Amino acid sequence: MHKITICGETKEYEEGITYLELAKEYQDRYPETIALAAIGNRIQELHKVVDRDCEVSFLTLADSAGHKAYVRTATMMLMKAVEDELSDIRPDQVKVEFAIGNGYYISMKGHLVTQVEIKSLEAAMRKMQQDALPIEKRAVPKDEAIRLFEKTNMSDKVKLFRYRRSSSVNVYSLGGYQDYYFGYMLPNAGYVEYFELLPYEQGVILNLPGTQSPRELTMFKPRKKLFATLNQANDWGNTLGIDTVGDLNDQICMGNISDLVLVQEALQERRIGEIAKDIVRRGDVKFVMIAGPSSSGKTSFSHRLSIQLRTLGLRPHPIALDDYFKNREFTPRDEHGNYNFECLEAIDVELFNSDMSRLLAGEKVELPTFNFKTGSREYRGNYKQLGKGDILVLEGIHGLNDKMSYSLPNESKYKIYISALTSLNIDEHNRIPTTDTRLLRRMVRDARTRGASAERTIGMWYSVRKGEEEYIFPFQENADAFFNSALIYELAVIKQYAEPLLYSITPDMPEYMEAKRLLKFLSYFLGVSTENLPNNSIVREFVGGSIFPV
């Protein structure tokens, strides 16, 4: 017998009971469907057997880990449907490309998916859900896993596992279909009630609920500019011959990393030059508004763009919108009583518009500098006056929101959206979320520049992401230009800096589960030193050594 405590109640259960059986008993205590079990800060899939006296809590589909499990399970169901319904498509032709809102774009290389095929795939997935087709998990020796995936034409996984340090691999099975997934899965397909397949571009969108409403599908909204930028990232990856982490590791082992860095940096510089030329071509631009989520590289980008503008005869002046933060005593607070630095109301919008309008009128204006230590604006003699060739390069999270610059004529503004939109996948069926790249960037930078612990960065990440969802992402498509700051090699560089920070998070900390997940994720990458990184690289903003004041 095992003594198990759940929701403050301690009961004895016979040996052999699973977390799934416990979840069914306590489901009515949770508002959303239970997805995973947690023993302390250790997550367990529900099919696992309880093997000790313990205290158990549950994670639902409204929790981040539970939602990720839902996405993986739905993805595996789609992969099995493709195998069953589209027999001429090999597993390595199907790639989970990227997320657009709550939709996941999936391509089938060399195959244009038809409406009839989409209906067939969705029907097959519905049948799996209705039958609650079980998902089985087994740990197999690495060499056996390599042979298995060689046989099933999943060469991307074969390449990935060659660099795996662990001696075993978790293989999941769904109705005879076998695959590998990075992270936890749900017990069966019956949990995936809410989904739809939609035709999109050359592939299909797997539309799923978000964490805020796990029982509700929101209408998929195409984002053409975002999609085009993500597609461009894929094209760059194809140009470099790097689609997955295994491809990147191969290039590192072959000694090609220096060339890879130079080519990737050159591609980015070319794109920055294109944006600069477009600004000049417009002729009447006085304010370049740069916005993007946390750790997207806005500061480095603004300086590099300024250099390109100078080569075209303009005199750019980089300005941070953060300098217009309200003094701390006037900063709004969130529902938890904490300062809300993400909302527009944290910015002195009236002062900003007054200063910018005066500059546009040709006046000489003293601009503020925000002192983050004292929490107040200061004036340090930073005067600006716009002449014929002068242009202000403004960066901040609200740059694309017209409420931020309501008094400025639209023709005087050029809006740029920037984010780290990685095209690299772990393997074809396991994508790398852009949020993981940005979280690791921020963790490394905050530790270096602010002395902040990884625990603190992870702890505040939820509120940062919430602010992005509310104040940045809705304005993406308003941008005149998109810039992708992700570098295909960067996680191999960041790995050396992030791992020691993550190891400092101990099992008794609430952030331990996320730290453990990120450590496992980084273990797929071979490390690369910063020796060959240019000093103007966006990665330098995070790891140090940048030529710019970042």
C-alpha distances in Å from residue 487, one per residue of 269, 387, 483: 12, 36, 12
Choices 3.30.980.10, 3.30.360.10, 1.20.840.10, 1.10.20.60: CATH for 66-221: 3.30.980.10
Helices (H) and strands (E) in the chain, counts: 15, 21
* DSSP secondary structure letters along 433-464: -HHHHHHHHHHHHHHHHT---HHHHHHHHHHH
Q: Contact at 8 Å (CB) between 158 and 91?
A: no
Q: What is the pLDDT of residue 204?
A: 96
Q: What is the pLDDT of residue 549?
A: 87
Residue 7's SS3 state is coil
What's this model's pTM, rounded to 2 decimal places?
0.92
Residues of the chain with pLDDT under 70: none
Q: What is the pLDDT of residue 337?
A: 87
Q: Return the CATH number of the domain spanning residue range 227-543.
A: 3.40.50.300
Length of the chain: 550
Q: What is the pLDDT of residue 521?
A: 95
Q: What stretch(es) of the chain map to CATH 3.10.20.30?
A: 2-60
Among candidate residues 503, 318, 427, the one with its CA nearest the CA of residue 96: 427
DSSP 396: S
Q: What stretch(es) of the chain map to CATH 3.30.980.10?
A: 66-221
CATH superfamily of 2-60: Beta-grasp domain (3.10.20.30)
User: Which tens digit of pLDDT belongs to each residue from 67-114?
Assistant: 999 999 999 999 999 999 998 898 889 999 989 989 999 999 889 899
Q: What stretch(es) of the chain map to CATH 3.40.50.300?
A: 227-543
| Strand pairing category for 390-395 and 315-320 | parallel
